[in-house]
Amino acid sequence: AVYRRSLYVFWRRIIAPTMFFDVASRQSCSVRAVRTNTPLHALLTLNETTYVECSRVLAEQLLTDPQLTDDAARIRTACLRILSRPPLPNEVTVLQNGLRRSRREYSAEPTFAEQLLSVGDSPRNTSVDTTEHAAWTSACLILLNLDETLNHE
């Protein structure tokens, strides 16, 4: 495994870990956590190596699963894995449109697809089509950055 969960995080006194959004100040005790989701959070998670690599690996699993033969089945499986619920009809439409747009963009600029797929330490399955893999990586990254994914109530 490339990454491993841990209970311990290196913490500097003046700078909190970047992946802890809205962390309380260390100067005083906080009884309740503040929950926000700002554009800066989205900017961080859309470009953070761990999120991009997680999206890439999930996209690879979706594309290599022999039971998932079409986009709708892959979208459903991705939503079940990430959101723990099936997608709504309008969500399927939005993700399918995003996939079409990503496929067009990555087929026009294959170097962008290769740059996206080179992020992270885990090895990439080179038998998966680069354009398709990059498009699905983008779709999975969208799902990982939903407010519903980042903030559980």
Q: Concatenated DSSP letters for 90-112?
A: HHHHHHHHHHHHHHHHHHH-HHH
Q: What is the pLDDT of residues 125-137, one digit of tens each?
A: 999 999 999 999 9
Three-class DSSP category at 26? coil
Three-class DSSP category at 40? helix
Q: Which of 14-18, 48-52, 72-76, 95-99 has the lowest mean pLDDT?
A: 14-18
Look-up: residue for tokens 């290769």?
A: 114
pTM for this prediction: 0.84
What's the mean pLDDT in 123-150?
Answer: 94
d(CA 60, CA 54): 10
CA angle 152, 120, 3 (to 5 degrees): 60
Q: Residue 120 above 80 pLDDT?
A: yes
Look-up: residue for tokens 């969208």?
A: 142
Q: What is the pLDDT of residues 25-34, one digit of tens each?
A: 667 777 776 6
